[in-house]
Structure 1
């Protein structure tokens, strides 16, 4: 219910933003902008979120990156699933951390492992890996597993790690702070200060929450700003014109088409 209300609110806000005309960005701003498919290109009817198919569709459309969510099975296998349970997306109430991976795979083969995602997209799609709040049964074990999987790809170049809860970054303490991206909800100011103090990668959050003062502070510190979740051309233009580098969207394929068209128009 909470996510439905959030999506409704974002939809209303974006409809308003879509009606406001925006200037065409210059070539430099267009080149700096990267679109990220939030949980892949999905509708949760024919294509489910956080699946290889959803990520494949985004990649095939030329979308720069995909965001996905990491949870842990009972036997410490990191899998890609946003919710603690699979019920909302797949209609089966399987609590991820209560089942072993073999059981999850037999019941829901569409839920990929982190290892499968890294193997499939490393070097061709930037991975935004979000840590979800799971009970750390054995933090050292989880850390070793992540270090092994992520050791096959290059931090910052191939992937970044995100979280709504920066304390979860302890499981990836083998990574430098510049790979880590806090995601703000209503705690924008406090996470902004934390990111600046700890020299994190930058800050992500809804585009209305990350105002100009915060954007300037992070850019002045050499950090990156990521905003979600534009779904219209005019909202995309708003973010590009104010220098936002990473744009997370549930309509990433649509926005990528608009971005590509704008780049092409400047070359012609």
Structure 2
């Protein structure tokens, strides 16, 4: 797949200052705000159902001291009043833009990719995560669009890039500089940055010529782009 450049405003876990993160209302709100893509986190329940949750437990968002991996999808629905959607439900949502599937747990990768393909959604989903997760995505889908997450300025090993074949290199925003972006562009990669929430940080990243910014404040980013 050829690399083409067009800036994307990515909503981090939906629109979390308006609705609870990684929920269907949050996704809908982010799309109404003009997000080109909505980043969601996907993990597995005990019975192997891909659902939207960043944390390994339900404590922070849902007030239950339970590990997600210890509950079934039906138990999760009961515990959260249906608040934690399945990936299937998120894929069934109508709306513009793409879903950016973050995989904090590599064991969820193959099931997530399978769900995306079962929904006929491969063309409107791309993936991000660390090395192990993205290796699993590449094994499951040779054509997947991948953003390889980086938390260090150490250059990715050539063998890793050859194995994962990312379209994007996805950096913590404080690591990004114009020189870094220019180097990766010269090598044929797109550069995304996460998670920038102030106008100052957004302006700095735009000046560095990044291709995507992931933010908790997508309305702020969109208004900055419009101005």
Q: TM-score, normalised by structure 2?
A: 0.85
Q: Matched residue of 1:191: which SS?
A: coil
Matches within 5 A, 1:64-213: 64-108=36-80, 109-121=82-94, 124-133=96-105, 136=107, 143=110, 146-153=113-120, 155=122, 157-163=123-129, 165-172=130-137, 173-176=139-142, 179-185=145-151, 187-191=152-156, 196-198=161-163, 199-213=165-179
Q: Which has the higher helix share?
A: 1
Aligned length: 220
**Structure 1 range deviating more: 98-107 or 228-237:** 228-237
Gaps of 5+ in 1: 1-30, 263-268
* 1:236 matched to 2:209: no
The structure-2 alpha-carbon separation of the partners of 1:148 and 1:194, relative to structure 1 and needing over 3 Å to count, comes to: same
Query: Matches of 2:174 and 2:191 in 1, distance apart?
Result: 13
Match of 1:47 in 2: 19
Query: Matches of 1:196 and 1:34 in 2, distance apart?
Result: 23
User: Cα deviations across residues 69-95 of structure 1 (Å, max 9, x unaligned)?
Assistant: 110011000000000001111212221
Deviation at 1:48, TM superposition (A): 1.2
Match of 2:7 in 1: 33
Deviation at 1:53, TM superposition (A): 1.1
User: Cα deviations across residues 191-238 of structure 1 (Å, max 9, x unaligned)?
Assistant: 375664443112112222133333222211221100122223343222
Query: Matches of 2:154 and 2:119 in 1, distance apart?
Result: 35
Q: What is the aligned-residue RMSD (CA, Å)?
A: 2.5
The structure-2 alpha-carbon separation of the partners of 1:154 and 1:52, relative to structure 1 and needing over 3 Å to count, comes to: closer
Asked whether the equivalents of residues 50 and 111 of structure 2 are also in contact (C-alpha less than 8 Å), the reply is no
Query: Matches of 2:25 and 2:213 in 1, distance apart?
Result: 21
Deviation at 1:103, TM superposition (A): 0.6
Match of 2:224 in 1: 258
Query: Matches of 1:203 and 1:194 in 2, distance apart?
Result: 15
Q: TM-score, normalised by structure 1?
A: 0.73
Asked whether the equivalents of residues 70 and 78 of structure 1 are also in contact (C-alpha less than 8 Å), the reply is yes
Query: Matches of 1:70 and 1:215 in 2, distance apart?
Result: 28
User: Cα deviations across residues 126-176 of structure 1 (Å, max 9, x unaligned)?
Assistant: 111011226x4xx8xx73663243343454x4121111x211234322323
